Amino acid sequence: MAQVKAKGSIILEILIVILVIALIATLLYPKKIWQTEEENTALCRKNMDKILKAELVYQKYHLTYTDSLPGLISFIKEDSTKQAIKDYFYADTSLAEEMIDFLTAQSGEADKLINDIMADTLLYAIIETINYDSNLAKIILDRLENTALADSVKSKRMSDSSNTYILKQIRNDFTAFEIYDPIRDDDSLKLVFDRMTPEVSSGSLLDTLYATNPEWAEKIDSAVSYTLESFLTCPTVGREYKITVTDTSVIKWLRIECPLDSTDIEAGKSDFIKYHLGHLRLENHGKISEDGEKSWTR
């Protein structure tokens, strides 16, 4: 009798474990399904935005839009002048920023070039500012006296020249980065520098990298090509986006729509596991209308 009880107890324990696993699965599976579809939705909308930017590049050269995604991609990728590729990363700021981060992380030379550009841009603004704010010149020179440029600064300050004139001399004697790098994290100057630094577009920075090194240009070409090819279809249904072009003598309109439709929604209901256990309810991801408005930002 005791042996029978032991067997029954083992079976009961197995059933409890199975029930616990089933309970956990019912909690975690829907979360995974929803998360996947949320990611697909975000990617689909990002794709439509990228298509819009590519269409704007196409329109620049053809004075109209195209409803052919393969043709749009082919035009930018196969442009022998490479200007269409440059125009695309000027339009796609996020891609330009990603490529700058990638190239500067991979190459010290690229990082130095970007830092030099930013420093040179800031120093230009500083030189313009000290023409009517000599106190800023004095503050910067005071800080430079505690850096590797100290001897040069001190020797020049022994003359009767103004702080403004001396700082301009220092700027002529050293690179912008040599001046800026040792003082850029100075607490009393950081906010001033942040406020004064003119905006430099990521597109123009990437353009400089593109023109400087053929190896970097090749990597940028590859990144643009990959980006263009990846936005061809909606990640949920795997079909091309719907592009409608209206081109008359008066107007040129473009509409970009997610291809997910009622047939996909009905088909989703027939997937028992995803629909009933995962509680997945498919919805169209939105569109970019003729006036450029994105339905998901309303």
Residue 107 above 60 pLDDT?
yes
User: Which pLDDT belongs to residue 185?
Assistant: 87
Residue 2 above 60 pLDDT?
no
What does the block give as tokens for 189?
């100057």
CB 255 within 8 A of CB 290: yes
Q: Report yes or no on whether pTM surpasses 0.75.
A: yes
Pairwise CA distance, residues 90 & 205, whole Å: 10
Residues 38-55 have a mean pLDDT of 95
Compute the mean pLDDT over every residue in the chain, rounded to the nearest whole number.
Answer: 89
Pairwise CA distance, residues 15 & 22, whole Å: 10
CB 208 within 8 A of CB 109: no
Which one has a higher pLDDT value, 19 or 33?
33
Q: pLDDT digits over 187-241, tens only?
A: 888 888 888 888 889 999 999 999 999 999 999 999 999 999 999 999 999 999 9
Pairwise CA distance, residues 188 & 144, whole Å: 13
Residues 279-288 have a mean pLDDT of 90
User: Which pLDDT belongs to residue 274?
Assistant: 78
Residue 245 above 90 pLDDT?
yes
Q: What percent of the chain has pLDDT over 70?
A: 92
User: Which pLDDT belongs to residue 6?
Assistant: 64
Name the pairing type of β-strands 242-247 and 287-288: unpaired
